[in-house]
Amino acid sequence: MFEKTYTVRWADMDPNGHMRHSAYNDYAAQHRIEFLAASGFTLPYFAKAGLGPILFREDTRFLKELHINEALRVGGELSGLNADGSRWNIVHTLYKPDGRPAATVSVEGAWLDLRTRKLTTPPPEIAALMAELPRHESYRDL
């Protein structure tokens, strides 16, 4: 599984002394971009290809508080994929330093042709990469 560890930053905090709600989604989005970049699909690649990932839905479940300077481990598992890889669902789990889940961020997404502003099928290499993600227990074909 592709996992990354981040440090909860001052900018992530809310007045209650724990990580603000939208920061969980920011770390999930960062994780997706780093997953793609680790296989050569960087932001410059996407700009040149005129392609970009988009979200239709994002659902966050908060389980445990995260605090400033805590190590935050983020993983992602595929919870849905269609045959041509043009639509996908991912469940990100954000873990506290002791391994307990702090939150889950579930997203439903697709690929957008940035020139026509219409949904599109990704290149075969990206579709194959997405298919390699580990399957979440809720996985289903789309």
Average pLDDT over residues 1-28: 95
Q: Which residues of 24-37 are buried (b: 16+ CB within 10 A; e: fewer)?
A: bbebbbebbeebbe
Digit-coded pLDDT (tens) for 95-142 = 999 999 999 999 999 999 999 999 999 999 999 999 999 999 999 999
Percent of the chain with pLDDT over 90: 99
pLDDT of residue 29: 97
Confidence of residue 42 (pLDDT cuts 50, 70, 90): very high
Residues in the chain: 142
Average pLDDT for the chain? 96
The first and second tokens of residue 32, run together, are 């997706």
Percent of the chain with pLDDT over 70: 100
Distance CA 55, CA 68 (A): 28
pLDDT of residue 85: 95
- β-pairing, 101-113 with 87-95? antiparallel
Q: Name all domains of the chain by residue range, CATH numbers in brackets.
A: 8-137 (3.10.129.10)
In terms of phi and psi (left: phi > 0; alpha: psi -120 to 50; beta: otherwise), the region of 110 is beta
The first and second tokens of residue 43, run together, are 């932001």
Confidence of residue 1 (pLDDT cuts 50, 70, 90): confident
54 close to 77: Cβ distance less than 8 angstroms: no
pLDDT of residue 59: 98
Would you call 117 exposed, middle or buried from its count of C-beta atoms within 10 A (0-12, 13-18, 19+)? Answer: exposed
Q: Which helix (H) or strand (E) holds 88?
A: strand 87-95
Average pLDDT over residues 78-89: 96
Average pLDDT over residues 62-84: 97
Residue 15: partners with Cβ closer than 8 Å, 6 or more residues away: none
Predicted TM-score of the model (pTM): 0.94
